[in-house]
Structure 1
């Protein structure tokens, strides 16, 4: 009994058929066929079943990772946990990958680095002031899930900035 899903077997069959054809398919068709095999194998339940069987049989995550050509942390990220935990982790990864890479410019307050620059201190000093309560900061979460720490300078701190009388921390 085959262990691959029907979709994986069909994708693999297209590659084998194209490879053994008297006239090979055009380059783009070959590329599509090869990539479809990779995509189907990646999501094939047989992969997760093999990993779980290996772990249940006493294999280490290091050996599973080696067999899969991954680092142990990557193998665990892909296959550790229940089906629901894995699906949730992968969905979160897809959402992160789909986010825009630029930082929005219309956020309230200042970034930590902007506040540090304005006050003439390091970013670590800003975090220290926030933890001590001498600076107000909030984490702003956007609709797409991105989060940014924003610092709000009060009028005394703004005056210190202008007068150059900043305290070191």
Structure 2
């Protein structure tokens, strides 16, 4: 039997969740729409819902909470080619009638409260600024979001990575 020099390549069915990294964020895509925007290739809007079913249970009594209201939270995500990607995440507010309390879906895996960029987009922007010397404005245009949102995210990543590292100056005697 003749052996070939070809490598065995494993493959799987195409899954857009994996391509966009939504599986790591715990999000399920529901819909998509492309919008022409600015002078760039446009923006892909991806409608998502949390894949965490445990959020629907009351932490106090364990009863299933009923959905009281919901809204969309728009988050800039890492671009795909020349297209910006925005995740339109449905955030649900639940209420537990027996406990008289309410809570929302926990999206801290996706983005910290108040941030308009996903964790992946924040790291992408920080890498573009540091490794490619790209300006914050150019990153903001690529992500199709505000300069302030990108600047805040890049500064946060820089602070937690560099300033937060107590060993960052080990072996450097120039500052002493």
TM-score under structure 2 length normalisation: 0.30
Structure number, greater radius of gyration: 1
The TM-score with structure 1 as length reference comes to: 0.30
**More strand, by proportion:** 2
- Specify which structure has the higher proportion of helix: 1
**Larger RCO (CA under 8 A, 6+ residues apart):** 2
